[in-house]
Amino acid sequence: MHLNKLKDFRLEKLDDLTIAELQKEMEDGVLTSEELVLMFLENISERDQDINSIIEVNPEALNIAQALDIERKISGPRSALHGIPILLKDNIGTADKMHTSAGSYALKDFYAMEDAGVAAKLRKAGAVLLGKTHMTEWADIMSDEMPDNYCSRSGHIKHPFGDYDIGGSSSGSAAAIALSLAQASIGTETSGSIINPADENSLVGIKPTLGLTTRSGIIPLAPSQDVAGPIAKNVADAALVLSAIVGWDTADEISVGAKFFESYDWLAHLKKDGLQGVRLAVPRHLFEEQITANELELFNEALDVIRSLGAELIDPVDLGVAEEEAGDEVQFFEFKPSINEYLGKSHPANPIRSLDDLIAFHNRHPDQMLRYGQDKLEKSNATSGRLNEPEYVEALKRKRLLAGERAIESTLDKLGASAIVLPKDFGGGIGATAGMPLITVPYRFEDENGPFGITFMGRAFSDPTLIEFAYAFEQATNGRVKPPFGSKDGQE
Protein backbone atom coordinates (compact mmCIF):
# COMPACT_ATOMS: atom_id res chain seq x y z
CA MET A 1 0.00 0.00 0.00
CA HIS A 2 1.29 3.46 -0.85
CA LEU A 3 2.41 5.49 2.17
CA ASN A 4 -0.31 8.11 1.75
CA LYS A 5 -2.96 5.41 1.44
CA LEU A 6 -1.52 3.70 4.50
CA LYS A 7 -1.82 6.92 6.46
CA ASP A 8 -5.40 7.44 5.26
CA PHE A 9 -6.30 3.85 6.15
CA ARG A 10 -4.86 4.25 9.65
CA LEU A 11 -6.59 7.53 10.38
CA GLU A 12 -9.93 6.83 8.70
CA LYS A 13 -10.56 3.10 9.04
CA LEU A 14 -8.26 1.29 11.45
CA ASP A 15 -9.95 2.37 14.68
CA ASP A 16 -13.28 0.86 13.67
CA LEU A 17 -12.60 -2.25 11.59
CA THR A 18 -13.27 -5.67 13.11
CA ILE A 19 -10.96 -8.66 12.85
CA ALA A 20 -13.22 -10.15 10.18
CA GLU A 21 -13.05 -6.94 8.16
CA LEU A 22 -9.27 -6.77 8.47
CA GLN A 23 -9.05 -10.36 7.26
CA LYS A 24 -11.17 -9.44 4.24
CA GLU A 25 -8.79 -6.57 3.45
CA MET A 26 -5.81 -8.93 3.64
CA GLU A 27 -7.52 -11.65 1.60
CA ASP A 28 -8.37 -9.09 -1.09
CA GLY A 29 -4.77 -7.88 -1.23
CA VAL A 30 -5.63 -4.39 -0.01
CA LEU A 31 -3.64 -4.78 3.19
CA THR A 32 -0.84 -6.95 4.56
CA SER A 33 -0.06 -7.98 8.11
CA GLU A 34 3.23 -6.08 7.82
CA GLU A 35 1.33 -2.88 6.99
CA LEU A 36 -1.10 -3.56 9.81
CA VAL A 37 1.77 -3.86 12.29
CA LEU A 38 3.33 -0.66 10.93
CA MET A 39 0.07 1.23 11.40
CA PHE A 40 -0.34 0.05 14.99
CA LEU A 41 3.30 0.92 15.73
CA GLU A 42 2.63 4.41 14.39
CA ASN A 43 -0.42 4.66 16.65
CA ILE A 44 1.77 3.64 19.58
CA SER A 45 4.32 6.33 18.74
CA GLU A 46 1.68 9.04 18.37
CA ARG A 47 -1.00 8.14 20.90
CA ASP A 48 0.75 6.42 23.78
CA GLN A 49 3.50 8.88 24.67
CA ASP A 50 1.34 10.62 27.26
CA ILE A 51 -0.63 7.52 28.31
CA ASN A 52 2.07 4.85 28.88
CA SER A 53 -0.04 1.76 28.17
CA ILE A 54 2.70 -0.14 26.32
CA ILE A 55 5.53 -1.38 28.50
CA GLU A 56 7.48 -3.00 25.66
CA VAL A 57 7.13 -3.62 21.89
CA ASN A 58 8.14 -6.93 20.35
CA PRO A 59 11.28 -6.17 18.27
CA GLU A 60 10.45 -9.15 16.03
CA ALA A 61 6.88 -8.09 15.26
CA LEU A 62 7.53 -6.86 11.73
CA ASN A 63 9.53 -9.95 10.79
CA ILE A 64 6.78 -12.17 12.17
CA ALA A 65 4.18 -10.26 10.16
CA GLN A 66 6.26 -10.53 6.97
CA ALA A 67 6.58 -14.29 7.45
CA LEU A 68 2.83 -14.61 8.02
CA ASP A 69 2.16 -12.66 4.82
CA ILE A 70 4.33 -15.09 2.86
CA GLU A 71 2.62 -18.05 4.55
CA ARG A 72 -0.80 -16.64 3.62
CA LYS A 73 0.22 -16.57 -0.05
CA ILE A 74 1.64 -20.09 0.03
CA SER A 75 -0.87 -22.02 2.12
CA GLY A 76 -3.57 -19.60 3.20
CA PRO A 77 -4.39 -18.24 6.67
CA ARG A 78 -4.07 -20.46 9.73
CA SER A 79 -7.15 -19.00 11.39
CA ALA A 80 -9.24 -15.86 11.68
CA LEU A 81 -6.38 -14.33 13.69
CA HIS A 82 -3.72 -14.84 10.99
CA GLY A 83 -1.60 -11.68 10.86
CA ILE A 84 -3.65 -9.85 13.51
CA PRO A 85 -1.58 -7.89 16.10
CA ILE A 86 -2.42 -8.76 19.71
CA LEU A 87 -0.98 -7.30 22.93
CA LEU A 88 -0.28 -9.29 26.11
CA LYS A 89 -0.34 -8.23 29.73
CA ASP A 90 3.15 -8.10 31.22
CA ASN A 91 2.60 -11.16 33.42
CA ILE A 92 2.09 -13.48 30.42
CA GLY A 93 5.31 -15.28 29.54
CA THR A 94 6.71 -15.23 26.00
CA ALA A 95 9.76 -17.18 24.84
CA ASP A 96 11.09 -14.39 22.65
CA LYS A 97 12.93 -11.09 22.98
CA MET A 98 10.30 -9.54 25.25
CA HIS A 99 10.56 -9.49 29.05
CA THR A 100 7.93 -10.78 31.45
CA SER A 101 8.01 -8.72 34.64
CA ALA A 102 4.54 -8.40 36.21
CA GLY A 103 5.24 -4.66 36.09
CA SER A 104 8.13 -4.99 38.53
CA TYR A 105 11.49 -3.28 38.14
CA ALA A 106 12.91 -6.26 40.03
CA LEU A 107 12.16 -8.43 36.97
CA LYS A 108 13.00 -5.84 34.30
CA ASP A 109 15.69 -8.15 32.85
CA PHE A 110 13.68 -11.37 33.23
CA TYR A 111 12.91 -13.56 30.21
CA ALA A 112 10.47 -16.46 30.33
CA MET A 113 11.94 -19.76 29.13
CA GLU A 114 8.78 -20.77 27.29
CA ASP A 115 5.55 -19.29 26.02
CA ALA A 116 2.61 -19.16 28.37
CA GLY A 117 -0.16 -21.46 27.16
CA VAL A 118 -2.30 -18.59 25.87
CA ALA A 119 0.69 -17.03 24.06
CA ALA A 120 1.48 -20.36 22.40
CA LYS A 121 -2.12 -20.73 21.25
CA LEU A 122 -2.11 -17.23 19.76
CA ARG A 123 1.12 -17.94 17.88
CA LYS A 124 -0.35 -21.19 16.58
CA ALA A 125 -3.38 -19.26 15.33
CA GLY A 126 -1.07 -16.90 13.43
CA ALA A 127 -1.49 -13.81 15.59
CA VAL A 128 1.35 -11.30 15.83
CA LEU A 129 2.33 -10.78 19.47
CA LEU A 130 2.94 -7.04 19.20
CA GLY A 131 4.06 -6.21 22.73
CA LYS A 132 3.47 -6.24 26.47
CA THR A 133 1.17 -3.88 28.34
CA HIS A 134 1.41 -1.92 31.57
CA MET A 135 -0.21 -3.51 34.61
CA THR A 136 -0.67 -2.79 38.29
CA GLU A 137 2.54 -4.15 39.80
CA TRP A 138 2.26 -7.83 40.80
CA ALA A 139 -1.45 -7.65 39.88
CA ASP A 140 -2.08 -5.42 42.91
CA ILE A 141 -0.69 -7.61 45.69
CA MET A 142 2.17 -5.20 46.33
CA SER A 143 0.64 -2.60 48.63
CA ASP A 144 -2.67 -1.25 49.91
CA GLU A 145 -1.39 2.22 49.01
CA MET A 146 -0.42 1.46 45.42
CA PRO A 147 -2.87 2.93 42.88
CA ASP A 148 -4.19 0.81 40.01
CA ASN A 149 -2.28 2.92 37.50
CA TYR A 150 1.26 2.31 38.83
CA CYS A 151 4.09 -0.15 38.44
CA SER A 152 7.76 0.32 39.27
CA ARG A 153 8.94 -0.84 35.85
CA SER A 154 7.23 1.91 33.84
CA GLY A 155 5.59 4.32 36.27
CA HIS A 156 2.03 5.62 35.99
CA ILE A 157 -0.47 5.04 33.20
CA LYS A 158 -3.03 7.73 32.40
CA HIS A 159 -6.66 7.24 31.45
CA PRO A 160 -7.11 7.74 27.67
CA PHE A 161 -10.38 9.62 28.23
CA GLY A 162 -9.18 12.13 30.81
CA ASP A 163 -9.16 12.46 34.58
CA TYR A 164 -10.90 9.18 35.41
CA ASP A 165 -10.04 5.94 37.19
CA ILE A 166 -8.13 3.77 34.71
CA GLY A 167 -8.96 0.50 36.47
CA GLY A 168 -6.67 -2.44 37.14
CA SER A 169 -4.78 -4.59 37.10
CA SER A 170 -5.01 -5.08 33.29
CA SER A 171 -4.98 -1.30 32.87
CA GLY A 172 -2.55 -1.23 29.95
CA SER A 173 -4.32 -4.06 28.15
CA ALA A 174 -7.49 -1.97 28.16
CA ALA A 175 -6.07 1.51 27.56
CA ALA A 176 -4.02 0.26 24.60
CA ILE A 177 -7.10 -1.10 22.83
CA ALA A 178 -9.12 2.04 23.57
CA LEU A 179 -6.30 3.91 21.81
CA SER A 180 -6.25 1.35 18.96
CA LEU A 181 -2.63 0.34 19.54
CA ALA A 182 -3.47 -3.25 18.52
CA GLN A 183 -6.62 -5.05 17.45
CA ALA A 184 -7.14 -6.80 20.81
CA SER A 185 -5.28 -7.72 23.96
CA ILE A 186 -5.09 -10.40 26.61
CA GLY A 187 -5.59 -9.45 30.25
CA THR A 188 -5.66 -11.58 33.36
CA GLU A 189 -8.10 -11.50 36.23
CA THR A 190 -8.06 -12.71 39.80
CA SER A 191 -10.86 -10.42 40.95
CA GLY A 192 -12.19 -7.84 38.49
CA SER A 193 -8.92 -7.19 36.67
CA ILE A 194 -10.31 -7.71 33.15
CA ILE A 195 -13.87 -6.52 33.65
CA ASN A 196 -12.94 -3.37 35.58
CA PRO A 197 -10.48 -1.77 33.11
CA ALA A 198 -12.51 -2.91 30.09
CA ASP A 199 -15.53 -1.07 31.51
CA GLU A 200 -13.44 1.99 32.35
CA ASN A 201 -12.17 2.19 28.76
CA SER A 202 -15.44 1.58 26.86
CA LEU A 203 -14.44 -1.90 25.73
CA VAL A 204 -15.65 -5.48 25.73
CA GLY A 205 -13.91 -7.65 28.31
CA ILE A 206 -14.46 -11.37 28.81
CA LYS A 207 -13.48 -13.00 32.09
CA PRO A 208 -13.90 -16.68 31.18
CA THR A 209 -14.98 -19.49 33.45
CA LEU A 210 -12.03 -20.65 35.55
CA GLY A 211 -10.38 -23.40 33.52
CA LEU A 212 -11.68 -22.37 30.10
CA THR A 213 -8.27 -20.85 29.35
CA THR A 214 -4.94 -22.13 30.63
CA ARG A 215 -2.93 -20.42 33.38
CA SER A 216 0.38 -22.08 32.50
CA GLY A 217 3.28 -19.68 32.08
CA ILE A 218 1.43 -16.72 33.58
CA ILE A 219 2.96 -15.13 36.67
CA PRO A 220 0.44 -16.22 39.30
CA LEU A 221 -1.48 -14.37 41.99
CA ALA A 222 -4.08 -16.82 43.32
CA PRO A 223 -4.43 -19.98 41.21
CA SER A 224 -7.90 -20.79 42.53
CA GLN A 225 -9.13 -17.60 40.80
CA ASP A 226 -6.56 -16.66 38.13
CA VAL A 227 -7.77 -16.65 34.52
CA ALA A 228 -6.76 -15.03 31.22
CA GLY A 229 -9.23 -13.45 28.80
CA PRO A 230 -9.60 -11.02 25.89
CA ILE A 231 -10.20 -7.28 25.80
CA ALA A 232 -11.45 -5.91 22.46
CA LYS A 233 -13.41 -3.12 20.81
CA ASN A 234 -16.43 -5.30 20.08
CA VAL A 235 -18.01 -8.61 21.06
CA ALA A 236 -17.19 -10.36 17.78
CA ASP A 237 -13.47 -9.63 18.13
CA ALA A 238 -13.49 -10.68 21.79
CA ALA A 239 -15.21 -13.94 20.88
CA LEU A 240 -12.69 -14.65 18.11
CA VAL A 241 -9.72 -14.07 20.40
CA LEU A 242 -11.32 -16.15 23.14
CA SER A 243 -11.85 -19.02 20.68
CA ALA A 244 -8.11 -19.00 19.92
CA ILE A 245 -6.97 -19.27 23.55
CA VAL A 246 -9.58 -21.74 24.81
CA GLY A 247 -8.57 -25.34 25.24
CA TRP A 248 -7.06 -28.07 27.36
CA ASP A 249 -3.44 -27.68 28.42
CA THR A 250 -1.69 -30.63 30.06
CA ALA A 251 0.41 -28.13 32.01
CA ASP A 252 -2.71 -26.82 33.77
CA GLU A 253 -5.00 -29.50 35.15
CA ILE A 254 -8.00 -27.20 35.67
CA SER A 255 -8.22 -26.60 31.91
CA VAL A 256 -9.57 -30.12 31.34
CA GLY A 257 -13.03 -28.52 31.42
CA ALA A 258 -12.16 -26.70 28.19
CA LYS A 259 -11.86 -29.90 26.14
CA PHE A 260 -15.47 -29.57 25.02
CA PHE A 261 -14.79 -26.11 23.57
CA GLU A 262 -11.61 -26.86 21.59
CA SER A 263 -13.37 -27.00 18.20
CA TYR A 264 -16.40 -25.04 19.30
CA ASP A 265 -18.13 -22.54 16.98
CA TRP A 266 -18.06 -19.43 19.13
CA LEU A 267 -19.22 -17.21 16.29
CA ALA A 268 -22.51 -19.09 16.16
CA HIS A 269 -23.40 -17.17 19.32
CA LEU A 270 -23.21 -13.75 17.66
CA LYS A 271 -26.99 -13.41 17.54
CA LYS A 272 -28.82 -10.12 17.28
CA ASP A 273 -31.84 -11.80 18.89
CA GLY A 274 -29.71 -13.31 21.65
CA LEU A 275 -31.78 -11.71 24.41
CA GLN A 276 -35.16 -12.83 23.07
CA GLY A 277 -37.07 -14.89 25.65
CA VAL A 278 -34.34 -15.03 28.31
CA ARG A 279 -34.74 -14.29 32.01
CA LEU A 280 -32.13 -12.14 33.76
CA ALA A 281 -31.75 -11.29 37.45
CA VAL A 282 -30.88 -7.80 38.76
CA PRO A 283 -29.28 -7.86 42.26
CA ARG A 284 -29.53 -4.16 43.12
CA HIS A 285 -28.18 -4.67 46.64
CA LEU A 286 -24.70 -5.12 45.11
CA PHE A 287 -24.50 -1.61 43.71
CA GLU A 288 -27.31 0.77 44.73
CA GLU A 289 -25.42 2.35 47.63
CA GLN A 290 -22.22 2.82 45.60
CA ILE A 291 -23.44 3.96 42.22
CA THR A 292 -24.06 7.62 41.37
CA ALA A 293 -27.50 8.91 40.48
CA ASN A 294 -26.44 9.47 36.86
CA GLU A 295 -25.00 5.96 36.61
CA LEU A 296 -28.15 4.48 38.11
CA GLU A 297 -30.21 6.32 35.50
CA LEU A 298 -27.97 4.97 32.74
CA PHE A 299 -28.27 1.44 34.10
CA ASN A 300 -32.06 1.67 34.22
CA GLU A 301 -32.01 2.90 30.61
CA ALA A 302 -29.86 -0.10 29.68
CA LEU A 303 -32.38 -2.40 31.36
CA ASP A 304 -35.13 -0.85 29.23
CA VAL A 305 -33.08 -1.71 26.14
CA ILE A 306 -32.69 -5.28 27.36
CA ARG A 307 -36.46 -5.54 27.89
CA SER A 308 -37.09 -4.16 24.42
CA LEU A 309 -34.91 -6.95 23.02
CA GLY A 310 -37.25 -9.56 24.47
CA ALA A 311 -35.73 -10.34 27.85
CA GLU A 312 -37.63 -10.67 31.10
CA LEU A 313 -35.99 -8.99 34.08
CA ILE A 314 -36.44 -10.19 37.63
CA ASP A 315 -35.75 -6.97 39.44
CA PRO A 316 -34.68 -6.80 42.19
CA VAL A 317 -33.28 -10.05 43.55
CA ASP A 318 -31.12 -10.75 46.58
CA LEU A 319 -28.15 -13.05 46.07
CA GLY A 320 -27.79 -13.59 49.80
CA VAL A 321 -24.19 -12.41 49.78
CA ALA A 322 -22.54 -9.00 49.64
CA GLU A 323 -19.66 -8.04 47.35
CA GLU A 324 -17.32 -7.45 50.29
CA GLU A 325 -17.81 -11.04 51.44
CA ALA A 326 -15.79 -12.13 48.41
CA GLY A 327 -12.73 -10.62 50.09
CA ASP A 328 -9.11 -11.27 49.17
CA GLU A 329 -7.80 -13.45 52.03
CA VAL A 330 -7.38 -16.43 49.69
CA GLN A 331 -4.96 -14.39 47.56
CA PHE A 332 -2.61 -13.77 50.46
CA PHE A 333 -2.35 -17.48 51.22
CA GLU A 334 -2.03 -18.66 47.61
CA PHE A 335 0.41 -16.06 46.31
CA LYS A 336 3.41 -17.17 48.36
CA PRO A 337 3.61 -20.83 47.29
CA SER A 338 2.61 -20.08 43.70
CA ILE A 339 5.13 -17.25 43.17
CA ASN A 340 7.85 -19.26 44.92
CA GLU A 341 7.23 -22.11 42.48
CA TYR A 342 7.19 -19.79 39.47
CA LEU A 343 10.39 -17.96 40.42
CA GLY A 344 12.11 -21.11 41.63
CA LYS A 345 11.66 -22.73 38.20
CA SER A 346 12.72 -19.64 36.26
CA HIS A 347 16.00 -19.31 34.35
CA PRO A 348 19.01 -19.99 36.58
CA ALA A 349 20.35 -16.51 35.77
CA ASN A 350 17.36 -14.91 37.47
CA PRO A 351 18.51 -13.80 40.96
CA ILE A 352 14.93 -13.34 42.25
CA ARG A 353 13.93 -16.91 43.08
CA SER A 354 11.40 -16.52 45.88
CA LEU A 355 9.13 -14.07 47.65
CA ASP A 356 11.88 -13.67 50.25
CA ASP A 357 14.27 -12.61 47.49
CA LEU A 358 11.75 -10.17 46.07
CA ILE A 359 11.10 -8.46 49.40
CA ALA A 360 14.84 -8.30 50.07
CA PHE A 361 15.42 -6.68 46.67
CA HIS A 362 12.77 -4.07 47.47
CA ASN A 363 14.43 -3.32 50.80
CA ARG A 364 17.80 -2.83 49.07
CA HIS A 365 16.27 -0.42 46.55
CA PRO A 366 13.64 1.49 48.55
CA ASP A 367 13.62 4.62 46.38
CA GLN A 368 12.83 2.59 43.27
CA MET A 369 10.67 -0.18 44.76
CA LEU A 370 8.95 1.07 47.91
CA ARG A 371 7.25 4.23 46.73
CA TYR A 372 3.97 2.81 48.06
CA GLY A 373 5.36 0.19 50.43
CA GLN A 374 4.96 -3.58 50.27
CA ASP A 375 2.56 -4.42 53.08
CA LYS A 376 0.57 -6.88 50.97
CA LEU A 377 3.68 -8.80 49.98
CA GLU A 378 4.79 -8.95 53.60
CA LYS A 379 1.37 -10.16 54.68
CA SER A 380 1.52 -12.95 52.13
CA ASN A 381 5.06 -13.85 53.10
CA ALA A 382 4.00 -14.17 56.75
CA THR A 383 1.82 -17.16 55.82
CA SER A 384 3.30 -20.65 55.94
CA GLY A 385 3.18 -21.19 52.18
CA ARG A 386 1.88 -24.72 52.79
CA LEU A 387 -1.85 -23.88 52.35
CA ASN A 388 -2.72 -25.87 55.45
CA GLU A 389 -3.82 -23.01 57.67
CA PRO A 390 -7.39 -23.45 58.97
CA GLU A 391 -8.07 -19.81 58.06
CA TYR A 392 -7.22 -20.48 54.41
CA VAL A 393 -9.24 -23.67 54.12
CA GLU A 394 -12.24 -22.03 55.79
CA ALA A 395 -12.01 -18.92 53.58
CA LEU A 396 -11.73 -21.03 50.43
CA LYS A 397 -14.64 -23.25 51.37
CA ARG A 398 -16.86 -20.45 52.62
CA LYS A 399 -16.33 -18.19 49.64
CA ARG A 400 -16.77 -20.90 47.05
CA LEU A 401 -20.00 -21.97 48.70
CA LEU A 402 -21.23 -18.43 49.31
CA ALA A 403 -20.38 -17.03 45.90
CA GLY A 404 -20.90 -20.10 43.76
CA GLU A 405 -23.61 -22.33 45.12
CA ARG A 406 -25.64 -19.81 47.11
CA ALA A 407 -25.20 -16.48 45.35
CA ILE A 408 -25.08 -17.45 41.67
CA GLU A 409 -26.16 -21.03 40.98
CA SER A 410 -28.90 -21.27 43.60
CA THR A 411 -30.35 -17.87 42.70
CA LEU A 412 -30.41 -18.58 38.98
CA ASP A 413 -31.90 -22.04 39.51
CA LYS A 414 -34.59 -20.75 41.86
CA LEU A 415 -35.60 -17.98 39.47
CA GLY A 416 -35.26 -19.99 36.29
CA ALA A 417 -32.90 -17.27 35.06
CA SER A 418 -29.99 -17.59 32.65
CA ALA A 419 -27.70 -14.86 33.98
CA ILE A 420 -27.27 -11.81 36.18
CA VAL A 421 -27.00 -8.29 34.79
CA LEU A 422 -25.16 -5.48 36.60
CA PRO A 423 -23.81 -1.97 35.99
CA LYS A 424 -20.10 -1.44 35.32
CA ASP A 425 -17.95 -4.11 37.01
CA PHE A 426 -20.16 -4.67 40.06
CA GLY A 427 -20.37 -8.31 41.05
CA GLY A 428 -16.89 -9.01 39.72
CA GLY A 429 -15.56 -10.09 43.11
CA ILE A 430 -18.36 -12.60 43.60
CA GLY A 431 -17.96 -13.99 40.10
CA ALA A 432 -14.19 -14.27 40.47
CA THR A 433 -14.41 -16.05 43.81
CA ALA A 434 -16.84 -18.55 42.34
CA GLY A 435 -14.86 -19.00 39.12
CA MET A 436 -17.86 -17.92 37.05
CA PRO A 437 -17.76 -16.09 33.68
CA LEU A 438 -18.47 -12.39 33.15
CA ILE A 439 -18.59 -10.18 30.08
CA THR A 440 -18.81 -6.40 30.07
CA VAL A 441 -20.12 -4.31 27.16
CA PRO A 442 -19.95 -0.52 26.62
CA TYR A 443 -23.15 1.44 26.87
CA ARG A 444 -22.59 5.18 27.27
CA PHE A 445 -20.14 7.90 28.30
CA GLU A 446 -20.94 9.66 31.56
CA ASP A 447 -19.22 13.02 32.13
CA GLU A 448 -18.60 12.58 35.85
CA ASN A 449 -17.01 9.11 35.77
CA GLY A 450 -16.26 8.37 32.12
CA PRO A 451 -17.21 5.24 30.16
CA PHE A 452 -20.13 3.23 31.50
CA GLY A 453 -20.90 -0.36 30.58
CA ILE A 454 -23.01 -3.25 31.77
CA THR A 455 -21.88 -6.73 32.81
CA PHE A 456 -23.50 -10.13 32.38
CA MET A 457 -22.53 -12.90 34.83
CA GLY A 458 -23.55 -16.55 34.56
CA ARG A 459 -22.96 -20.12 35.65
CA ALA A 460 -19.72 -21.97 35.00
CA PHE A 461 -19.14 -22.61 31.28
CA SER A 462 -22.11 -20.48 30.23
CA ASP A 463 -19.62 -18.23 28.39
CA PRO A 464 -21.23 -18.82 24.95
CA THR A 465 -24.64 -17.77 26.29
CA LEU A 466 -23.19 -14.61 27.82
CA ILE A 467 -21.68 -13.77 24.43
CA GLU A 468 -25.17 -14.03 22.91
CA PHE A 469 -26.54 -11.58 25.47
CA ALA A 470 -23.63 -9.18 25.09
CA TYR A 471 -23.75 -9.23 21.28
CA ALA A 472 -27.49 -8.57 21.15
CA PHE A 473 -27.10 -5.66 23.57
CA GLU A 474 -24.09 -4.27 21.69
CA GLN A 475 -25.81 -4.39 18.32
CA ALA A 476 -28.84 -2.56 19.70
CA THR A 477 -26.90 0.18 21.47
CA ASN A 478 -23.55 0.67 19.67
CA GLY A 479 -22.29 2.10 22.94
CA ARG A 480 -18.52 2.14 22.44
CA VAL A 481 -16.93 5.58 22.53
CA LYS A 482 -13.39 6.43 21.48
CA PRO A 483 -11.00 8.63 23.45
CA PRO A 484 -9.54 11.84 22.02
CA PHE A 485 -6.33 10.77 20.31
CA GLY A 486 -4.44 14.02 20.78
CA SER A 487 -3.21 16.81 18.56
CA LYS A 488 -0.14 14.86 17.34
CA ASP A 489 -2.23 12.09 15.78
CA GLY A 490 -1.71 12.03 12.03
CA GLN A 491 0.73 14.94 11.86
CA GLU A 492 3.86 14.61 9.78
3-state secondary structure of 139: helix
Based on the residue annotation, tell me whether 202 is a catalytic residue of this protein.
Answer: no
H helix or E strand, kind and range, residue 208 = none
Average confidence (pLDDT) per 10 residues, the chain, 492 residues: 85 97 97 98 97 98 98 98 98 98 97 98 98 98 96 97 95 98 98 97 98 98 97 98 97 95 95 98 96 97 98 95 78 97 95 98 97 98 97 85 81 96 95 94 96 97 98 98 72 44
Nearest to 346 by CA among 124, 119, 93: 93
What does the CA dihedral 310, 438, 175, 326 come to, rounded to 10 degrees? 130
Q: Strands of 357-460 (E only): list them.
A: 419-423, 438-446, 450-457
- Distance (Å, rounded) from C-alpha 412 to C-alpha 416? 6
Nearest to 231 by CA among 213, 205, 207, 209: 205
- Distance (Å, rounded) from C-alpha 148 to C-alpha 156? 9
* DSSP state at residue 141: T
Query: What was the pLDDT predicted at 462?
Result: 97
- Distance (Å, rounded) from C-alpha 117 to C-alpha 249? 7
H helix or E strand, kind and range, residue 340 = helix 329-344
Based on the residue annotation, tell me whether 169 is a catalytic residue of this protein.
Answer: yes
Catalytically annotated residue among 154, 193, 202, 418: 193
Catalytically annotated residue among 33, 143, 152, 169: 169
Catalytically annotated residue among 89, 336, 376, 399: 89
- Distance (Å, rounded) from C-alpha 118 to C-alpha 123? 9
- Whole-Å CA distances, 403 to 181, 432, 440: 36, 9, 19
Query: What was the pLDDT predicted at 487?
Result: 43
Q: Which residues contact 67 (CB under 8 A, 6 or more apart)?
A: none
Q: Which residues contact 3 (CB under 8 A, 6 or more apart)?
A: none
3-state secondary structure of 129: strand
Based on the residue annotation, tell me whether 132 is a catalytic residue of this protein.
Answer: no
Nearest to 216 by CA among 347, 108, 120, 340: 120
Query: What was the pLDDT predicted at 18?
Result: 98
Q: Strands of 16-107 (E only): list them.
A: 54-57, 85-89
